[in-house]
C-alpha cells in the first residue's frame, strides 16, 4: 500500500516476478469510518439486511408514484374507455397496465420517486448503522467538479457504445426527433439526476461500504455489482448478456467510486448514461422506451447481439466492450495517484483494516 499525501489508497497485485499488474482502490479514510460504531456483518447477513432496506425503500417510492398514475389515467382517454368497459377481459387489463406504465407521467414519477429511496437509505445508514454521510461519499470538497466530470465520463462512455453500433451496422441515427419537447427533455434530465443518484446511493454509498466494513473490498465490489445487475431481472427484454453488462458496469462504478472517494461522480455517470441512452440517442433504457428523445434512431433486428434488442444497448456486446475497456483503464492507470476526495479531520479506526490494505504477492 502506498500513500501520497493521504489521498491515494491502493493495493498492488503482483506476479511471481514482482512487477505491478493492476491496482485495486481501497476504502478512503472517511468511508472507513462506517465501522466506527458497527463492525458490520458477514456478507450473507449484509445482503439480507440490504434486501429489507430495498423493500422498504421501494414501497416508499411506490407511494410517491401514485400522483403520476392518477394523472396518466385521467389524461388518457383510451385508458379511461378501457377502465369503464364493464366486460373487461384479461387482455384489456394487461393493455391498461401497459399503457399506464409507459405513459410519460408514470415514467417521470418513477424517476422522481427515487428521491424516497435516497432518503430511506441515508436514514438507515445514519440512524441504524451509526454512519456519517461522508462514509457514503457525500462530501462537499470538489462536489461540483466531480459531478461535471462524471457527466462527461458517462456521455463519452455511451457515445462510444453508439459509435460501435453504428460502425457494425446494428444501429442508425435517422435525424432529429419529430416529437421532441424541450420541457419534457428537461424534466427527464432532472428525473434521471435523481434516479441515477438513487441507485448509486443504494448500491455504492450504502451496500459497497457496508459489506467492506468486515469483508475484503474485492468482495464488496463484486457483491454490490451482482446485486445491481440482479435488480434489473424483471425489466423487459433482459438477457444473460444484459445481466453480465450490468455486472461489469457495477464493477466500473464501484472502482470509480473508490478512486474518487465521493458519490457525485458515479451518480453523474449513471445519470448521463441513462439520459443519453433514452433521451438523446433514442434507445431503450434497460427495457424502458422513452417518448421524448433528441435523435430518432433505429436498430437492426438481426443484430441484437450488438445493439441489445428491446432491452437497449446494455443488452449488447458493444456495451460489454466499453465496460471492459473502462474497467481496464481504471485498473491499469500508471499516472500520478488518484485525486481522492478525503473528508477533513478523519481518524482511521484501527479495526477497519482489511486485505485490500495489504500488498498481495
β-pair type (171-176, 295-299): antiparallel
pLDDT surpassing 70 at residue 188? yes
Residue 91: pLDDT band (50, 70, 90) is confident
Integer angstrom CA distances of residue 36 from 131, 182, 217: 8, 48, 17
Report residue 260 as a C-alpha cell.
Answer: 474518487
Residue 216: pLDDT band (50, 70, 90) is very high
Question: Within 10 Å of residue 197's Cβ, how many Cβ atoms?
Answer: 23
Report residue 276 as a C-alpha cell.
Answer: 443519453
Question: Within 10 Å of residue 146's Cβ, how many Cβ atoms?
Answer: 24
C-alpha count within 13 angstroms, C-beta hemisphere, residue 41: 10
β-pair type (10-14, 295-299): unpaired
> Tens of pLDDT along 237-292?
999 999 999 999 999 999 999 999 999 999 999 999 999 999 999 999 998 989 89
> Tens of pLDDT along 111-149?
999 999 999 999 999 999 999 999 999 999 999 999 999
Residue 99: pLDDT band (50, 70, 90) is confident
Report residue 240 as a C-alpha cell.
Answer: 444473460
Cα dihedral 150→153→158→159 (10° resolution)? 130
Task: For residues 250 and 128, give the distance between their C-alpha atoms in angstroms, rounded to a whole number.
Answer: 26
**What does the DSSP 8-state code read for residue 124?**
I
Q: What is the pLDDT of residue 4?
A: 32
Please give the residue that has the higher pLDDT: either 339 or 87: 87
pLDDT surpassing 50 at residue 355? no
Helix, strand and coil in the chain, % to nearest 5: 65, 5, 30
Q: What is the pLDDT of residue 81?
A: 80
Please give the residue that has the higher pLDDT: either 5 or 341: 341
- The lowest-confidence range among 261-270, 310-319, 344-353 is 344-353
H/E element, 22? strand 20-25
- The lowest-confidence range among 72-81, 186-195, 322-331 is 72-81
Residue 22: pLDDT band (50, 70, 90) is low
Q: What is the pLDDT of residue 319?
A: 98
Task: For residues 125 and 119, give the distance between their C-alpha atoms in angstroms, rounded to a whole number.
Answer: 10
- Contact in structure between 299 and 170 (CB atoms under 8 Å): yes
Tell me the β-bridge partners of 172: 298
List CB contacts of 65: < 8 A, sequence separation 6 or more.
106, 109, 110, 113
How does the average pLDDT of the chain come out, rounded? 87
Angle between helices 114-123 and 182-200 (to 10 degrees): 20
- Contact in structure between 315 and 237 (CB atoms under 8 Å): yes
Please give the residue that has the higher pLDDT: either 20 or 311: 311
CB-count exposure of residue 147 (10 Å: 0-12, 13-18, 19+): buried
Q: What is the pLDDT of residue 339?
A: 53
Q: What is the pLDDT of residue 76?
A: 86
358: helix, strand or coil: coil
215-239 average pLDDT score: 95
Phi, then psi, of 145 in degrees rounded to 5:
-65, -45
Q: What is the pLDDT of residue 333?
A: 78
**Please, what sign has the CA dihedral across residues 58, 60, 63, 64?**
negative
Q: Which of 164, 155, 157 is nearest to 303 (CA)?
A: 164
Per-residue b or e along 58-81, where b marks 16 or more CB atoms closer than 10 Å to that residue's CB: eeebeebbeebbebbbeebeebee
Angle at the Cα of 238 from the Cα atoms of 237 and 239, rounded to 5 degrees: 115
For the chain, the structural domain boundaries read 10-37+141-349
42-58 average pLDDT score: 96
C-alpha radius of gyration, the chain, whole number: 22
pLDDT surpassing 70 at residue 7? no
Q: Which of 301, 314, 1, 318 is nearest to 167 (CA)?
A: 318
pLDDT surpassing 50 at residue 19? no
Question: Within 10 Å of residue 357's Cβ, how many Cβ atoms?
Answer: 17
Q: What is the pLDDT of residue 357?
A: 43
pLDDT surpassing 90 at residue 23? no
Amino acid at each position: 500500500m502506498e500513500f501520497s499525501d493521504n489521498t491515494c489508497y491502493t493495493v498492488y497485485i503482483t506476479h511471481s516476478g514482482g512487477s505491478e499488474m493492476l491496482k485495486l482502490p481501497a476504502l478512503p479514510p472517511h468511508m472507513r469510518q462506517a465501522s466506527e460504531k458497527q463492525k458490520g456483518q458477514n456478507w450473507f447477513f449484509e445482503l439480507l439486511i440490504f434486501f429489507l432496506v430495498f423493500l422498504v425503500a421501494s414501497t416508499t417510492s411506490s407511494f410517491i408514484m401514485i400522483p403520476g398514475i392518477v394523472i396518466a389515467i385521467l389524461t388518457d382517454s383510451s385508458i379511461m374507455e378501457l377502465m369503464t368497459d364493464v366486460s373487461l377481459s384479461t387482455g384489456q387489463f394487461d393493455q391498461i397496465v401497459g399503457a399506464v406504465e409507459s405513459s410519460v407521467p408514470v415514467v417521470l414519477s418513477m424517476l422522481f420517486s427515487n428521491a424516497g429511496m435516497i432518503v430511506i437509505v441515508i436514514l438507515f445508514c445514519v440512524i441504524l448503522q451509526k454512519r456519517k454521510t461522508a462514509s457514503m461519499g457525500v462530501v462537499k470538497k470538489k462536489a461540483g467538479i466531480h459531478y461535471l466530470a462524471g457527466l462527461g465520463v458517462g456521455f463519452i462512455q455511451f457515445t462510444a457504445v453508439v459509435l460501435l453500433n453504428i460502425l457494425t451496422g446494428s444501429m442508425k441515427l435517422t435525424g432529429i426527433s419529430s416529437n421532441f419537447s424541450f420541457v419534457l427533455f428537461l424534466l427527464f434530465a432532472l428525473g434521471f439526476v435523481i434516479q441515477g443518484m438513487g441507485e448509486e446511493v443504494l448500491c455504492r454509498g450504502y451496500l459497497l461500504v457496508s459489506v467492506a466494513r468486515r469483508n475484503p473490498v474485492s468482495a464488496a465490489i463484486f457483491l454490490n455489482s451482482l446485486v445491481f445487475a440482479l435488480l434489473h431481472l424483471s425489466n423487459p427484454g433482459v438477457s444473460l448478456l444484459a445481466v453480465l453488462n450490468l455486472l461489469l458496469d457495477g464493477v466500473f462504478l464501484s472502482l470509480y467510486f473508490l478512486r474518487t472517494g465521493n458519490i457525485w461522480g458515479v451518480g453523474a455517470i449513471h445519470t448521463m448514461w441513462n439520459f443519453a441512452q433514452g433521451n438523446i440517442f433514442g434507445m431503450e433504457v434497460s427495457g424502458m422506451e422513452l417518448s421524448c428523445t433528441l435523435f430518432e434512431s433505429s436498430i437492426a433486428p438481426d443484430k441484437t447481439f450488438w445493439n441489445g434488442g428491446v432491452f437497449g444497448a446494455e443488452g449488447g456486446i458493444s456495451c460489454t466492450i466499453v465496460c471492459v475497456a473502462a474497467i481496464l483503464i481504471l485498473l491499469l492507470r500508471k499516472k500520478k495517484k488518484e485525486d481522492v476526495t478525503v473528508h477533513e479531520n478523519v481518524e482511521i479506526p484501527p479495526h477497519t483494516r482489511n486485505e485490500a490494505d495489504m500488498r498481495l504477492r
